[in-house]
Amino acid sequence: TIATSKFEPTYARQAFPCFDEPNMKAKYIVHLLKPKKENYIALSNYPVAKTESYDDNNDLVTFEETVSMSTYLSCFIVSDFTHTETSFNNNGTLTPLRVYASPGNLNKTTYAGEVAKKVIEYYVDYFGIPYPLPKLDMVAIPDFVSGAMEHWGLVTYRETALLYTDTTHSSANKERVATVIAHELAHSWFGNLVTMDWWNDLWLNEGFASYIEFKGTDAAEPTWDIMSQFQISDLHPVLSLDATLSSHPIVVTVTTPDEITSIFDTISYNKGASILRMLENTVGVVNFQKGVTNYLNKYAYGNAVTKNFLDEIQAVVRYFKGLIPYIF
């Protein structure tokens, strides 16, 4: 049994009064009612601060105040799920990592925990910035509306994108679990820590996560040589799509909820990733990484647009300014 939320891109306004736009960041103190039954739990972006009796049937769970974040990243779950637990090295501090699933699927969560630990430790080193939150929960949700969603500190997945065992799943299933985890955890920095100012620059979130997921997966499963698959899985499909009349620039003006939803597409994800791969190959791996770290540090807990990202690359690579017309 589970009740869960998914607010991206414009649905937080249906759950609580808010300025439901990505650049209207705020801190949250969440209160949830849950049944008193021992097997029911309440989850949100931050750890539980206290649990009090509300009435004969329900408890009131209060969570710690969050960091400043966009409305679409908030999440609430009440369920009877159970979890496995480990921790990861967060720049010298051990941060708890839990994987939740329905009781019958708990034995399928081990691989997800192992992959997430390796990926998140790689990202902490790659970005040069510690994971910003005090915990990381991942939840396998039956019939989840999206493949996964990067709610900060409480990442939600379809069961097919998080659960795996050697005896019941194929190697393709295993690769999907690893790559989706790597994608969602990349958002902890690109998208959550630094968020696009408006949905016009969605590619900054999704294109980067779609590219860096290959690096994260490679760190977790180096024998797969996952980087060699990029051209087939991401570049070639988008070349065909980008030649059609229905294509659009990676930075595109959107105003309505329907328009915003429409750009969660192959252009924002795959073309965005392909542009970043080309950019990294142009300026060099070290310079690209330096520019990314500078960008994240400069705009941490805030918002940015494409020009802000390019400016940080240019600050590291002086000749880059002359290349911009040929790349973007």
Annotated binding site for Zn(2+): 183, 187, 206
Asked whether the beta carbons of 46 and 65 are under 8 A apart, the reply is: yes
- Residue 147 has what DSSP assignment? S
Q: Strand 2-4 to strand 48-53: parallel, antiparallel, or no bridges (unpaired)?
A: unpaired
Pick the catalytic residue: 121, 184, 213, 221? 184
Query: What is the rounded CA–CA span in Å between residue 276 and residue 188?
Result: 18
Question: What stretches of 154-268 adopt beta strand conformation (E)?
Answer: 154-158, 194-196
22 preceded by a cis bond (ω within 30 of 0): no
Known catalytic residue: 184? yes
Q: 83 - beta bridge partners?
A: 100
Q: Could you give phi then psi for residue 250, rounded to 5 degrees?
A: -70, -30
Determine which helix (DSSP H) or strand (DSSP E) holds 166, and give its type and residue range. none
Angle between helices 272-283 and 285-298 (to 10 degrees): 120
| SS3 at position 61 | strand
Catalytic residue IDs? 184
